[in-house]
Amino acid sequence: MGTCYELPCTGCNSSGWVEAATGESLALDELVTQLSLALQAAHWQIEQLKNPQASGPEATYQGATGAAPAAPTTPGIEGEEP
């Protein structure tokens, strides 16, 4: 069935995909290719949502462990007697 009709749509081979310029249905081999590309993109997006990666300044601080680095220390300052 088409995406907008209760009956099978012959204008789009019941896929909802048509040529943008002409409105004609895609050839079946082109339709298969386009649907495959759309499916791969959807799978990629799902994986990205499952495993978000830090970016920008956040990535610098989190590194591989996901923990922020310890504060820098300067040797000899803590506990020094005047």
**More confident call, 30 vs 8:** 30
Q: Is 59 inside any structural domain?
A: no
Q: Is 57 inside any structural domain?
A: no
Asked whether 69 and 61 are in contact (CB, 8 A), the reply is yes
Q: Is 27 inside any structural domain?
A: yes
Q: Is the pTM of this model over 0.75?
A: no
Domain total for the chain? Answer: 1
Q: Which domain holds residue 24?
A: 1-42
Task: Look over the chain and give the mean of its residue pLDDT values, rounded to a whole number.
Answer: 74
Q: What is the pLDDT of residues 33-48, one digit of tens each?
A: 999 999 999 999 999 8
Q: What percent of the chain has pLDDT over 70?
A: 60
Output the six-digit token pair for 77: 């300052």
Q: What percent of the chain has pLDDT over 90?
A: 22
**How many CB atoms within 10 Å of residue 12?**
20
Q: Is 56 inside any structural domain?
A: no
**How many CB atoms within 10 Å of residue 56?**
7
